[in-house]
A = this chain, B = another copy of it.
Amino acid sequence: MNTNGSLAGVRVIDLSHVLAAPFCTMILADLGAEVIKIESPAGDDSRQFGPFVEEKDSINEQSAYYISINRNKKGICLNLKTKEGKEILKNLVKKGDVVVENYRPSTMKKLGFSYSELKQIKKDIIYCSISGFGHDSLPEYADKPAYDMVAQAYSGLMSITGPEGGPPCRVGSSIGDIMSGHQAVIGILAALRHRDQTGEGQHVDISMIDGLVSILENAIVRYTVDGEIPEPLGTSHPTIVPFQSFRTSDDWVVIPIGNDTLWTNLCEALERGDLKDDPRFRTNPRRLKHKKTLIPILEDIIKIKTTREWLDIFANHNLPASPLNTIDKVVNDPNINHRGMIQKINQPRVGEMKIAGSPFNLSQTPASVRTHAPLLGEHTDEILSNLLSYNQKTIKQLRKKGVIK
Contact = CB atoms under 8 A, between A and B. Distances in A.
B235 A354 contact: no
Interface in A315-353: 315, 318-331, 334-336, 338-339, 341-342, 353
A64 B223 CA distance: 11
A155 B329 CA distance: 9
Given A48-B259, A190-B7, A258-B18, A65 B163 contact: no
A183 B28 CA distance: 12
Each complex incorporates copies of this chain amounting to 2
A390 interface: no
B322 A48 contact: no
A324 B159 contact: yes
A57 interface: yes
A275 interface: no
A4 to B, nearest CB: 10
B153 A254 contact: yes
Contacts of A215: 173, 175, 178
B331 A205 contact: no
A214 interface: yes
A327 B216 contact: yes
Contacts of A258: 18, 45, 147
Given A51-B225, A183-B360, A322 B166 contact: no
Given A189-B186, A194-B364, A216 B325 contact: no
Given A245-B168, A339-B136, A359 B214 contact: yes
Nearest to A360: B187
Contacts of A278: none
B285 A57 contact: yes
A132 B19 CA distance: 26
